[in-house]
């Protein structure tokens, strides 16, 4: 496996308080918070290795403008049907609204100065954001994907990245889902037809690659 470090970026997707923190929306809704928190330590270790070797690190947050003017009606209706209307009061402020406490990234994985944070209104980190421009301007051609949830925002970002021509590595233990079967299925789909959506790797293996002498 070849890692061209100058042309590789680590994406940390939606490790937000409402999704991953005790007392956040997911926790209050009865989702398996421990499974959503499982990627924290692997991601933390990856961040140490990535920063040490100079990889571009990009963080994302799913959320909407306070007036919800960037919220499509279809997404609004889906959220209402699930019992969690976007913009409604939650345990850590209004749900999926930028600037609210629950929308913030968790303390364990806070960005360092200079690391871009992409606020996205959809599931894919490329949809209606400047992520593609940012990556192009840095000459990035390979992405390492981590975060939550494996079957929704990680998968959506991965699929769009592949269509845009990026080579992708998805880090199995650095992704998480409240639903083990969906996590496993999302990972297994990556490797179909000889790696249709790239490769799946573990954090230990990836860290070893990052720490190999140049």
The reported pLDDT for the residue numbered 53 is 94
Query: Are 35 and 180 in contact, with CB atoms under 8 Å apart?
Result: yes
Q: What is the DSSP letter of 9?
A: E
How much of the chain is helix, strand and coil, in % rounded to 5?
40, 20, 35
For residue 40, give the CATH number of its domain.
Answer: 3.40.50.850
In a domain, 74, yes or no: no
Residue 77 lies in a domain: no
Number of domains in the chain: 1
Please report the pLDDT score of residue 1 as a whole number.
Answer: 66
Exposure string over 82-118, b if 16+ CB within 10 A, otherwise e: eebbbbeebbbbbbbbbebebbbbbeebeeeeebbeb
What predicted TM-score, i.e. pTM, was given to this entire model? 0.96
Give the span between the Cα atoms of 162 and 24, in whole angstroms: 32
Which residues are CB-contacts of 176 (< 8 A; sequence separation ≥ 6)? 20, 35, 36, 37, 38, 39, 147, 148, 149, 150, 183
Q: How confident is the model at residue 187 (pLDDT cuts 50, 70, 90)?
A: very high
Is residue 98, in this structure, part of any structural domain at all? no
Residue 123, in any domain of the structure: yes
Asked, for residue 99, whether it belongs to a domain, the answer is no
Distance CA 177, CA 182 (A): 7
Residue numbers of the domain that contains 174: 5-64+104-210
In a domain, 58, yes or no: yes
Q: What is the pLDDT of residues 42-51, one digit of tens each?
A: 999 999 999 9
pLDDT above 80 for 2 = no
The answer to whether 14 is a known catalytic residue is yes
Whether 49 is in a domain gets the answer yes
Extract the tokens encoding 109: 């994985």
- Residue of 179, 183, 161, 160 lying closest to 171 (CA atoms): 183
Q: Which of 20, 153, 168, 175 is catalytic?
A: 153
Which of 20, 120, 168, 175 is an active site residue? 120
Q: pLDDT tens across 4-20, in order?
A: 899 999 999 999 999 99
Catalytic residue among 14, 18, 27, 119: 14
With respect to residue 69, please indicate whether it lies within any of the assigned structural domains.
no
Q: Is 153 a catalytic residue?
A: yes
């Amino acid at each position: 496996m070849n890692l061209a470090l100058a042309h590789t970026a680590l994406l940390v997707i939606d490790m937000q308080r409402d999704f991953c923190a005790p007392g956040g929306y997911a926790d209050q809704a009865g989702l398996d918070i421990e499974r959503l928190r499982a990627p924290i330590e692997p991601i933390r270790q990856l961040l140490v290795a990535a920063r040490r070797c100079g990889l571009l690190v990009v963080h994302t947050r799913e959320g909407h403008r306070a007036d919800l003017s960037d919220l499509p009606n279809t997404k609004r209706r889906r959220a209402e049907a699930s019992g969690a209307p976007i913009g409604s009061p939650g345990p850590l402020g209004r749900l999926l609204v930028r600037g609210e406490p629950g929308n913030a990234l968790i303390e364990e994985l806070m960005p360092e100065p200079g690391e871009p944070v992409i606020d996205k209104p959809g599931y894919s980190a490329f949809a209606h954001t400047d992520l593609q421009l940012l990556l192009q301007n840095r000459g990035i051609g390979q992405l390492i994907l981590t975060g939550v949830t494996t079957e929704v925002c990680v998968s959506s970002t991965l699929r769009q990245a592949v269509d845009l021509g990026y080579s992708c590595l998805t880090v199995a233990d650095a992704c998480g889902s409240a639903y083990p079967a969906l996590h496993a299925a999302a990972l297994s789909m990556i490797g179909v037809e000889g790696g249709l959506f790239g490769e799946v790797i573990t954090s230990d293996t990836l860290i070893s690659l990052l720490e190999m002498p140049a």
